[in-house]
Structure 1
Amino acid sequence: MSAHTRPETPGGLVEIDQRSREIFRQIVDGYLTTGEPVGSRNIARLLPIALSPATVRNVMTDLEMAGLIYAPHTSAGRLPTERGLRFFVDGMMEVGNLTSDERGRIEAQIRAAASNRSLDQTLTEASALLSGLSRGAGVVVTTKANARLRHIEFVRLDAGRALAVLVADDGTVENRILALPAGLPASALVEAGNFLNARIVGKTLDELRREIADSRALMERELDELTARLVETGIATSSGPSGDRHLIVRGQANLLEDLKAQEDLERIRLLFADLETQTELIDLLSRAEAGDGVRIFIGSENKLFSMSGSSIIAAPFRDGGQRIVGVVGIIGPTRLNYARIVPMVDYTAKVVGRLLDGGR
C-alpha cells in the first residue's frame, strides 16, 4: 500500500502530521475492532506519545474539518468517515500476512473440493471458506464459459432453429437456441457435432472458439459452407459474455451477527436487498477484473452499497492461459478487518487460479 499523507478534502489538500496520524489510527482501529466511537480520553491513554485529552480534541477537530472523522449523534467520540477509511486503507494500513496454518487450510479445503466436485462446487467451497474465515459473506463471480467441455450436440427444433446441447466435464448441461442457415440439410447437424466433438474434450468454449478460428481453412475443407456456419454460430451463441456471469454468495447469516443498534439491522436489511440484485453485484465484482491484485470498494464509493454502507474486498483469478476468468471476494460492514482480509482474498484467488491451471 502506498503511504499517502495528504488526503483530498473539499477544502483542498490537508497535511496530516505524525501526531494526527497516530490519533486518526486510534479512531480507525477502535472502529474496526468494536464499531464504537472513540473519545479523546481513551485516545490519550492509548497513544505512544504523551498528549492531554484537550490536545487530542484539538487534533480531532482538525481531522473532522478534513472530512476524515465525524461525531455520530451527540457522542463525544468520533468515527471515521468513508473518506477517512479510504485514506486509511490506501495510505496507512499495514497488510498482514497469513499464517502457514491459514494458507494450509485455504489450500487444503479448496483442493479437496476440486478433487471430486465440479468447478461450480469448488467455487462454492471457496466462497463458503472465505465467509467462515472473515465472518462476512463470501462471493464468487465466474462465467459459464470457463467450464471444461465433454460433448456438444445439435438438435433441430424446426426449419429455422436448433438446440445446442453442451455437456461439461462435471456433468452440467447447458442448452442454447440458435438460428439455422437457410437450406441447411439435417445431416449438417450431425456433421457439425462430430467436427466439434473431435476437438472439444477438456477445452473451454473460449479455447474451442480460438482453435476453430485458427483452423478455419481446415474446417472449410472438411465441411460445406452452411455446416461451417453452423459450427461458428453454435460456439458463438454458446459463449455469451456478460449474460453468462454466474454469482455465488455464501454466509449471508454472518452479517446478522454483532448488530449493535436498530440502524445496524436496517443496514443489513438494505444489504440483503442489494445482494438480491445480482446483476448490479456482478457488475461491481467485474470491476475488480480491471487490474491485478485486490480491490477494495468502501460504502457509497459504489452505487450498489450506497444505502447499506457496506464494503467489498475482491481479487480476480486466472485460468491456465493467464486470462482473468472470475473474481472472489468478501462483503461485510465498512468496519471489516481490511488488513487481515486482503491477504486472505488474495491467496484464495491464487489457489483457485492454480487449480484452473492444472493444479500447479
Structure 2
Amino acid sequence: MPVDRTTSETATSALSALDQRSREIFRRIVDSYLETGEPLGSRNLARILPMALSPASVRNVMSDLEGLGLIYAPHTSAGRLPTESGLRLFVDAMLEVGDLTSEERRDIESRVAGGGGGRTVDGVLSEAGRMLSGLSRGAGVVLASKSDQRLKHVEFVRLEPTKALVVLVGEDGSVENRLIDLDPGTTPSSLVEAANYLNTHLRGRSLAEARAELNQRQVRVRAELDQLTARLIDAGLASWVEATGGRPDTLIVRGQANLLEDVRAAEDLERIRLLFDDIETQRELVRLLGSAEAGDGVRIFIGSENKLFSLSGSSLVVSPYRDSESRVVGVLGVIGPTRLNYARIVPMVDYTAKLVGRLIG
C-alpha cells in the first residue's frame, strides 16, 4: 500500500541509535499512547515486554529515549508519552500498515456507493467524508476541485455606477456571485453585450477552456465589441478564478462532533476548541490538503509540522483521488488527535480514495 514516508535525516539517525531493546520499549510507549492516550510507566512497561527487564532498567532506557527527544514525561513521576518527533519517527520508520479485510472493503463500498449509478458526484464525496468520520471517530474531510466546472449562463447585474455583480452558473447548477469594478462610462448596453457574447461563444466550456478561447478571440473581440465590453468579458471570467486564489475548490467536513467524544481534561477541551478553529479556517485547510496532491499515496501530517495544527496538536491523514484519466481531482482523509490509529486509518483512506476515483471517473 502506498504510504508517502519521508523519513528525515534526523529520524534516520535517531532510529539507528536505538538497539532492539530500546526500539521495543519505544514501540510499546507509542502503542499504549495510540490506544489509551495515557502515559506508560516503567513498572507497567516491564510487565508487558517480551524480554526480562527490571523497572530500573526500563527507566534507564526511557531516559535515553527522552534524551533523543522521542518521549517525554507530562508530569513529575509520571510515565512517558511520545513527542511529535517520536510519532513522526514511528510513522515513518516503524508503523506496520496492514490491509483491509474483504468485509471492511464491502462496508466502505456500500456506504460510499449507496445509491449506485444514480448518486451524484457531490453525493459520493459527501458520503465518503461521512463514512471516514464514522469509521475513524475523527472528522472526515474532502477537497473537491471544481477546476473543470463548465459554464451554463453568465449575467452582469449593475449595482452602482462603478460596481456590478457577475453571476456565473455552472452546468451542475452551482452559482458563483462576484463583485467587479466597472470602468467609468460603462453603459447598460455594454453589460448586456458582454453577457450575450459569453453565453453565445463560451457556454458549455470549462473555465480553463473559456479563458483559452477568449485569449484566441482577443483580436476578433476587439473588432466586434468596443473596448469597455471586452474588458467586462475578461473581468467576468477572471472573477470566477480569483475568488479562491486561482483554484475554485469545495471543502466538505463531516463529523467534527466525533472529536469531542474522547475529551478527558480541560486541556483536551481547549485542544478541541483550537482544532475547530483550525477547521473553520478553511482557506488554510484547503491549502494544506492541496499540498497532499503533489505525491502519490497516503500522506500523514502530525501536529506542529504544519502551521494550521500548530496549536491544537492534531494529525491529518490524506490521499489524493484521481479521475479515469489518472488526473488528481481532489483529496480526502481524516483529521483527529495525534493519537489516531494510523495503522487502521491509512489503509481506510487509501482504499476510499481509490473507490471515489472509480465512482466519479
TM-score tier, shorter chain, comes to 0.7 to 0.9
Match of 2:177 in 1: 175
SS at match of 2:277: helix
Match of 2:113 in 1: 111
Q: Give the Cα separation in 2 of the matches to 1:219 and 1:164.
A: 24
> Which residue, out of 71, 93, 96, partners 1:94?
96
Q: Give the Cα separation in 2 of the matches to 1:117 and 1:207.
A: 27
Greater mean alpha carbon deviation, residues 275-284 or residues 291-300: 275-284
SS at match of 2:202: helix
Greater mean alpha carbon deviation, residues 320-329 or residues 123-132: 320-329
Greater mean alpha carbon deviation, residues 71-80 or residues 26-35: 71-80
CA displacement at 1:273 relative to structure 2: 2.3
CA displacement at 1:59 relative to structure 2: 1.2
Distance 1:102 1:209, change over 3 A: farther
Unpaired runs of 5+ residues, structure 1, are none
Check the 8 A contact 1:113/1:122 in 2, yes or no: no
Match of 1:193 in 2: 199
Match of 1:154 in 2: 155
Unpaired runs of 5+ residues, structure 2, are none
CA displacement at 1:95 relative to structure 2: 1.2
For residues 151-198 of structure 1, give each alpha carbon's deviation from its aligned partner in whole angstroms, at most 9, with x where no partner exists.
Answer: 12333527876654333343222233456786875445323311122x
For residues 233-253 of structure 1, give each alpha carbon's deviation from its aligned partner in whole angstroms, at most 9, with x where no partner exists.
Answer: 443332334373332211111
Q: Which amino acid aligns with 2:195?
A: L
* RMSD between superposed Cα atoms in Å: 3.3
Paired residues, what number?
A: 349
Q: Which amino acid aligns with 1:154?
A: E
SS at match of 1:175: strand
Match of 2:245 in 1: 242
TM-score (norm 1): 0.83
Residue 261 of structure 2 is aligned to residue 254 of structure 1: no
Residue 24 of structure 2 is aligned to residue 22 of structure 1: yes
> Which residue, out of 305, 309, 334, partners 2:309?
305
Residue 53 of structure 2 is aligned to residue 51 of structure 1: yes
CA displacement at 1:346 relative to structure 2: 1.9
Which structure has more relative contact order (CA 8 Å, sep 6+)? It is 2
Q: Which amino acid aligns with 1:249?
A: V
> Which residue, out of 140, 145, 148, partners 2:142?
140
Please show how residues 275-294 of structure 1 align to structure 2 within 5 Å. Answer: 275-294=279-298
Please show how residues 198-347 of structure 1 align to structure 2 within 5 Å. Answer: 199-200=204-205, 204-210=206-212, 216=216, 220=220, 224=224, 232-240=234-242, 241-242=244-245, 244-347=248-351
Q: Give the Cα separation in 2 of the matches to 1:132 and 1:224.
A: 57
CA displacement at 1:319 relative to structure 2: 3.8
Residue 353 of structure 2 is aligned to residue 349 of structure 1: yes
Q: Which amino acid aligns with 1:131?
A: S
Q: Give the Cα separation in 2 of the matches to 1:135 and 1:12.
A: 32
